Structure 1
Amino acid sequence: MMQSLLIANRGEIAVRVIRTCREMGIRTVAVYSEADANSMHAKLADRSICIGPAEPSKSYLDIPRIISALEVSGAEAVHPGYGFLSENPKFAEIVRASGKVFVGPSAETLELIGDKVRAKEVAKRVGLPLVPGSDGPVDFQKALE
């Protein structure tokens, strides 16, 4: 079982992951922006690392900053939470290429589910129940009718 986990997110999801890790005996590393320095997730984690300014594109969405925090922390894995980088196949691939574990779907799966038409085709092919709806692009004139 892993010994340490970096949470690449903030707020409620980060707190929930930290609390679950604590129950499992896993050391946690929180990342935070300058604006979140006093936030609950930064205080609850075993270690916290500032990854940049308040603007998410310069902190929570900045893959090199997250990877740098991962390397500095020595964490074995990354939990992306939800939002931010959680559905970014490039991030998942970079984490795995660095020899760390991405806690979530593979980069290939993230690419597939990012294309909703392809994802629906795969779900249909494997027999998953689907909500009725469009099977692809709809012609504008037909939509008006």
Structure 2
Amino acid sequence: MPEFRKILIANRGEIAIRVMRAANEMGKRTVAVYAEEDKLGLHRFKADEAYRIGEGLGPVAAYLSIPEIIRVARMSGADAIHPGYGLLSENPDLVDACVAAGIAFIGPTAATMRVLGDKASARRAAIEAGVPVIPATGVLGDDMDAIRAEAAAIGYPLMLKASWAGADGACARSSRRRSWRPRSAKAGARPRPPSAMAKVIWRR
């Protein structure tokens, strides 16, 4: 394992502070990055060094700018980058940029992120590794009639799962939830209880 001397934390707030605390306990120097809107943020003052990023960018875009993160890492002499969680932590492009710049990335490889970042591809990797998984379809398209036919052929109850949309993705919208009610269901009928063994329909 490489020995890091100075770690840039590509995050903000409490997340960055927790990483800094761990780094300090290990005797490592820390580098913070902050957007203009976070110039009074506590994480800026908890680090050994702090640099502003994202001039002209918004407060979120600043932390999502890989060129800015790499720029500060080079300027500060950081030999490793820790992404915390959220923001760029699951972006394989940051890992690629670190490799190109000769900076260690504390986290998974870019290849691992690309496999596991999409739930459907992660499921395929689990199957290839012999890990038991719940029966499911492949990722389906946007033809709702075809999807309903697939659902009817499988049989209810079913669980609709977004392969990558996240908590606020399209599949979480109430209009989409209503569209998945079986057309044969009677008004006022009590829904069947969910099953732990329900098959999964994947949707993008």
TM-score where L is the length of structure 2: 0.65
**C-alpha deviations, 1:66-121, integer Å up to 9, x for none?**
11001101000000111111111111101111101011111111111122211111
* Structure 1 residue aligned with 2:193: none
**Other structure's SS at 1:81 match:** coil
Amino acid at match of 1:106: T
Name the CA distance, whole Å, in 1 between partners of 2:75 and 2:42. Answer: 22
TM-aligned CA distance change 1:134 to 1:55, over 3 Å: same
> Residues 36 and 54 of structure 1 are in contact (CA less than 8 Å); yes or no, is this contact kept in structure 2?
no
Q: Does 1:127 align with 2:130?
A: yes
User: Residues 1-145 of structure 1: matches in 2 within 5 Å?
Assistant: 1-52=3-54, 53-57=57-61, 59-130=62-133, 132=134, 134-138=136-140, 139-141=146-148, 142-143=150-151, 145=182
TM-aligned CA distance change 1:73 to 1:133, over 3 Å: farther
**Other structure's SS at 2:139 match:** coil
Pairwise CA distance, 1:7: 0.3
Aligned length: 143
Amino acid at match of 2:39: A
Name the CA distance, whole Å, in 2 between partners of 1:127 and 1:135. Answer: 18
Pairwise CA distance, 1:127: 3.1
Q: Specify which structure has the higher proportion of helix.
A: 1
TM-score where L is the length of structure 1: 0.90
Q: Which structure has more RCO (C-alpha within 8 Å, separation ≥ 6)?
A: 1
Taking only the aligned residue pairs, the percentage that are identical comes to 45
**Other structure's SS at 1:137 match:** strand
> Residues 117 and 135 of structure 1 are in contact (CA less than 8 Å); yes or no, is this contact kept in structure 2?
no
Name the CA distance, whole Å, in 2 between partners of 1:117 and 1:80. Answer: 24
RMSD over equivalenced CA pairs, Å: 1.6
Radius of gyration: which is bigger?
2
Structure 1 unpaired stretches of 5+:
none
